[in-house]
Amino acid sequence: MSESDSLPSAFDPLAFHERAVQTPSHENVDAMRDLLCETLREHGQAPDVDDAGNVLESRGSGHPHVVLNTHVDTVAPHVPYSRDGDVVCGRGACDAKGPLAALVAAFLAVEPNDGRVTLAVTPDEETDSAGAAALDLDADAYIVGEPTDLAACTSARGRFQATVELSGTAAHAADPETGANAVAGVERVLAAIRSFDEARGPDDHPDLGPPTLTPTRIEGGEATNRVPANCRIVVDRRTVPPETQDGFFAAFEEYVHEAVTGDGVDAAVRPAERKTPFLEAFSTPDDADVVGALVDAGVDDPRPFGAATEASYFAADAPTVVFGPGVLADDEGPVAHAEREYVHRSDVTRAAEVLTAALGSLV
């Protein structure tokens, strides 16, 4: 064997992307994680899989330390791979196997000088984000791969979820005054939801605009001839900086309790059960080095991202930018998470070029 035969071949992000989209990862990420690790080993790397299922590998040492992050899991159902010219369709095409291919290409191409670059790929972004919550990487900047249409996204709303639980006293519907109707309390809950932000919410964010608080589900009552003792309303909170989950839940529960409690009906707010923190809103200054590096590499001016991401977990520690090929939606409707999920191969290539150039200037 000649010396040249022992050297790793050049990484082809489009070939990797094709294999990745054909590897289902909506129920279990083992096969997709194996593909990523095998690919990195084929190109001279020695990736580690930590106890939380994250794939980790670094090049270089010291600072600045830039972390490249995305995820290998996808939502259900699986959508088979297909290709028509420049367009690849299939589950994960843009969310987030297109960004993954670009990040891996840049990671393998960069030759750090004084700095360090780490590839940190998580297994469960679409569910509990336990992988991301377990990461502690001492980074100076993060680039998170998501479908941003090749824009550098420096902010995003967070998402919280809670249930307003109304409790009253059951009674016969023929004699309703003897009970306390929990369903009737819904009127006051909805009024409180509508007025909460004006009374207690954060100011509008200059990039993200106002927060939203939306009732999304309601259930209550057990019989059609009985005054109901219980009712539950699920609310969806899309938050903006500087609101935190602890601050929101405390303020919202106090506000709802004051507005609703009375006439024998009581109210409590229960945050949705999660093993990990909720995804909070974040905002990175446009003058951060990582933002400037991406802009200098050819991306458009920074803008917000349209969905909550694991970037939330990293932005509290270091400047964080969301970037990648593909779109969440187009003029025809949803793309990511939809049956018609797709990405342009040329955008995957362009993302790899931008990331490589940006990393080259940072590390």
pLDDT at 261: 81
Tell me the pLDDT band of 263, cut-offs 50, 70 and 90.
confident
What is the second-level CATH architecture of the domain 4-156+281-362?
3-Layer(aba) Sandwich (3.40)
Tell me the pLDDT band of 103, cut-offs 50, 70 and 90.
very high
Inform me whether the pLDDT recorded for 89 exceeds 70: yes
Q: Which residues of 276-296 are buried (b: 16+ CB within 10 A; e: fewer)?
A: bbbbbbbbbeeebebbbbbbe
The answer to whether the CB of 348 falls within 8 A of the CB of 101 is yes
Inform me whether the pLDDT recorded for 6 exceeds 90: no
- How confident is the model over 154-176, as a mean pLDDT? 94
Q: What is the CATH number of domain 158-271?
A: 3.30.70.360
Q: Between 97-109 and 30-42, two packed helices, what is the crossing angle to 10 degrees?
A: 20
Q: Where are the domains of the chain?
A: 4-156+281-362, 158-271
pTM of the model: 0.89
Angstrom distance (rounded) from CA 129 to CA 145: 15
Percent of the chain predicted with pLDDT > 70: 98
